[in-house]
Amino acid sequence: MNSLNRFARLFAAAAACGLLLALAACGPIRRGGKETVAVPAKYDMVIAAAKDNQFNLGGAILNIDDLIGHFRYLEDQKQLPKSVLLKDGDDAKVKDAHINAFASLQVTFHFTGYIEHKGKLTLLKAVETPDDKAQK
């Protein structure tokens, strides 16, 4: 009887260790993983945030309407950029208004958008909503 009790304890301990290992392996799956993105060495266009929710493009300060006009011109010339970086400017940091406008540009002109804010690079994945489709 003593050996049967000892065998049951060893089996229970082994099962508990196996269960702990299985649960530990599931930890990263529950939290989700980070997506790996191929970052281009060079961007087709770099836009910096400027004061008053404006943008700095090559030294010119543009509001969102002017920036849209520039993209429409590039579209007419068949020279739309494929990758665009929005980054913190010298006098202003990227704010929600900049990101919203940039996302709208991305949806309209179909480029890959990146945002560099406080030294962190993020891939922007803007998607068209039913409201956007209705406005067209």
| 102 in the same domain as 65 | yes
In-domain check, residue 101: yes
In this predicted structure, what is the pLDDT of residue 40? 81
| 65 in the same domain as 23 | no
Mean pLDDT computed over 31-45: 71
| 125 in the same domain as 64 | yes
In this predicted structure, what is the pLDDT of residue 28? 45
Q: In the chain, how many domains are there? A: 2
In this predicted structure, what is the pLDDT of residue 135? 55
| 126 in the same domain as 85 | yes
| 76 in the same domain as 21 | no
In-domain check, residue 110: yes
Q: Each residue of 101-110: pLDDT tens digit? A: 999 999 999 9
| 52 in the same domain as 77 | yes
**pTM of this prediction?**
0.69
Mean of the per-residue pLDDT values for the chain?
81
| 115 in the same domain as 54 | yes
| 127 in the same domain as 78 | yes
State what percent of residues in the chain have pLDDT above 90.
58
Angle made by CA atoms 39, 53, 84, in degrees to the nearest 5: 20
Q: Each residue of 109-121: pLDDT tens digit? A: 999 999 999 989 9
**What is the residue type of 51?**
K
Q: Whole domain around residue 80: which residue ranges? A: 45-135
